[in-house]
Amino acid sequence: MANKQFVVIGLGRFGYSVAKTLYELGNDVLAIDMNEDIVQEISDSVTHAVQLDATDENALRSLGIRNFDVAVVTIGDNIQSSVMATLLVKELGVKFIIAKGQSDLHAKVLYKIGADRVVLPEKDMGVRVAHNLVSANILDYIELSSDYSIMEIQALDEWAGKSLSELRLRSKYGINVMAIKNGEDVNLSPLAEDKIALNDIIVAIGSADDLSKLEGMIVKLN
């Protein structure tokens, strides 16, 4: 799968995390914020960083926003600016829009004006959102520390009918499968001979580097 082009508008803690993670995952990322210091700070961690007012239609149009696959609008406390920026990127032709909401009411407004997905910061960390945007098979990504994380993965078609020993996830990618979930059924500490079904969800733990290798493989297959 070809790398996607993301534009992240608003570089607070959440937006900064989304932009940096998407770039680390190998995507083209344009980061936008009004604050020149933040733009300078993130410039080495994304493809391009630009200081401008995202509620200025002409300024956004000049950046070629319509050519981006995904817009992530994470403007902070200014709900009016958040709504305006979301509306503009929608009208300018961005294919998929994810926006940060401050409340359930704010979320409803964002959906009404064209957001495809709205996240609430209390419920969705930037890193989780970034991983899920890169691949639909990555259902969740939880950082335990700077070194280790847990990833929930929708079983790939290629895995169906194969046992954990056949998949060799530990020897290939250095990760450990903690559980296999299927609906309400959860198989904790699964055995090597346990087989994966098509709708299973794999819960794996590993180092950031090892999980990144696995994620890279999944993205290529999507």
How many percent of the chain have pLDDT more than 70? Answer: 85
Residue 155: the pLDDT is 86
Looking only at the bridges linking them, the beta strands covering 176-182 and 185-188 are: antiparallel
Pick the more confident residue, 216 or 63.
Answer: 63
Average pLDDT over residues 71-94: 92
Of 6-15, 108-117, 206-215, the one with minimum mean pLDDT is 206-215
Residue 122: the pLDDT is 58
The rounded distance, in Å, linking the Cα atoms of 78 and 54 is: 12
Whether this model's pTM surpasses 0.75: no
Average pLDDT over residues 106-124: 83
pLDDT at 2 over 70: no
